[in-house]
Amino acid sequence: MTRRNFARTLPLFGLLLFGGALHAQQVTRSNSDAVAPATSPADLYGALFEAVQLERVFPDSKTFVDLVPLEPASVIMAAYRAEKPTGRDALAMFVARHFTGHGAQAANADIRDHIRSLWPVLAKPPMTPPEGSSALSLPAAFIVPGGRYQEFYYWDTYFTMLGLKADREQPMIDSMIANFVSLIERYGHIPNGSRTYYLSRSQPPYFALMLDMSDDRDPVLARRRLAALKAEHAYWMAGASCLKDGACQHVVGMPDGSLLNRYWDARDTPRDESFVEDRTTSAAAAPRGQHKVNRDLRAAAESGWDFSSRWLADGHTLSTIHTTDIVPVDLNSLMWNLERAIARRCAASGDRACARDFNRRAEIRRAAIAKYLWDTRTQRFADYDRKANAPTPIVSAALLAPLFVGLATPDQARATARLTERQLLAPGGLRTSTLRTGQQWDDPNGWAPLQWIAIEGLDRYGESKLAHEIAERWLGTVTSFYAQTGRMIEKYDVEERSAGGGGEYAVQEGFGWTNGVTAALMEKYPSRR
């Protein structure tokens, strides 16, 4: 793993103790003058010094002792005693805030090299699973996120592809698209991930956007990909033929008869990969029915936001989860984009009837989104609670999805930008939501895909200053953390600019979509390279 090498700058700790008032050339002494012993970093920083070295914040013990303090030692130690940072990541970010070194200026160049070096590490060959394995067979190579995730994940892959595009790794992009086409042809949809236990659900439909990164001028390839897009759309809309109680499978019938989509899972048992956790949650919510709770937990996993206040009836408690009651603004924005993509590709192939059909579907969906997922009272996009027949009160980064795909009006985009600036902009990037629940898809965490969606969406509507500000803050968080730890991780705390927390597992490193978005943003903003 490529790690940043700090320059060996000798900190003038002794001079700092005296306020730096003396210049070396002015100091004269006779043989009888007493020379005060210099104070070493171990003496100056005591408990902080020991913690940094024993936690191996830096692979080389010499790195820390060569850093230059940004404040007097007394101030740094007072902050250390007050904050009590514990663990490698927290210590690394504390050091990043209070020390510097000549190597800091080279962090961006180093991080780009590091990301390039990670692609072969995260790459997997075509998969032919052994008998009894939970892995799904895949005909072509692919990239995994890293850490505990050694299989592909649907929506992760799009954001990983952004970095592959920036690094001119087109063959790998085409390879992963081939896998997705194969999966749709075999199973009728792209599963959550490439494991048998993920087949009962999908994830946010980014496949159409992935195809925009690839050349399919070959008419045979174009027809096959168009057929895959239509099959994916059919998977999401299958419930339209069985609506009961206003919803069936992924489809929700709205009060005016229009159809929108929700997240849903075909199974209502605890997830294989989180069996104990789901059993515990559903038991705590027993009066509501364990099968209902299990399906709602699974549906949240399909959303990719597992878990978030977006899906919680009381906004805080996981046992109140009711994902299948929510009509999400991000999912329906992506479905609108999918319908538009199919219409464009049908038109390009000369199938005018298909193009008219899917353009009509997209327009009906746009009108329904404007009616139900735009809250005129608060002037914001919002998820819709179909049981309450009202927008939910949760303000989250999902409200930027309509800007990302281009379905917002200019007025809606302006209002969204102002709300984002007031409530979602954090010191280290974009907040996931405004609530602290202990769930990983809430404040204080920030996630690479949500930064990209916001930045691209705002830029698309001329809100470039805010887009650039989010990018700068996010890249500052990622590069600072990398400079101090040599690690790229799954999620970050954008309030403290440290490692993220919450969720069902420890923060993972690797990390596919962080690498992809970081590379793409540095390509978008060359001054950051």
The bridge status of strand 251-253 relative to strand 259-261 is: antiparallel
Residues 433, 316: contact at Cβ < 8 Å?
A: no
Closest CA to 157 of 147, 167, 172: 172
Phi and psi dihedrals of 122, rounded to 5? -90, -5
163 to 303, 378, 521: CA distances (angstroms)? 22, 36, 9
Q: Exactly one of 66, 232, 278, 306 is catalytic; which is it?
A: 306
Closest CA to 416 of 426, 429, 401: 401
DSSP 167-186: TT-HHHHHHHHHHHHHHHHH
Strands, DSSP E only, in 76-201?
A: 99-100, 123-124, 142-143
SS3 392: coil
Locus of tokens 């795909």: 405
Q: Report DSSP state, residue 312.
A: B
Q: Report DSSP state, residue 461.
A: T
Q: Exactly one of 325, 490, 493, 496 is catalytic; which is it?
A: 490
306 is annotated as an active-site residue: yes
- Rounded distance between C-alpha atoms, residue 300 and residue 292, angstroms: 12
- Rounded distance between C-alpha atoms, residue 219 and residue 221, angstroms: 5
Tokens representing 272 are: 């294989």
Closest CA to 385 of 395, 398, 403, 372: 372
SS3 493: strand
Closest CA to 457 of 424, 500, 492: 424
490 is annotated as an active-site residue: yes
Residues 340, 358: contact at Cβ < 8 Å?
A: yes
- State which amino acid sits at residue 35: V
- Rounded distance between C-alpha atoms, residue 193 and residue 136, angstroms: 9
Residues recognised as catalytic: 306, 490
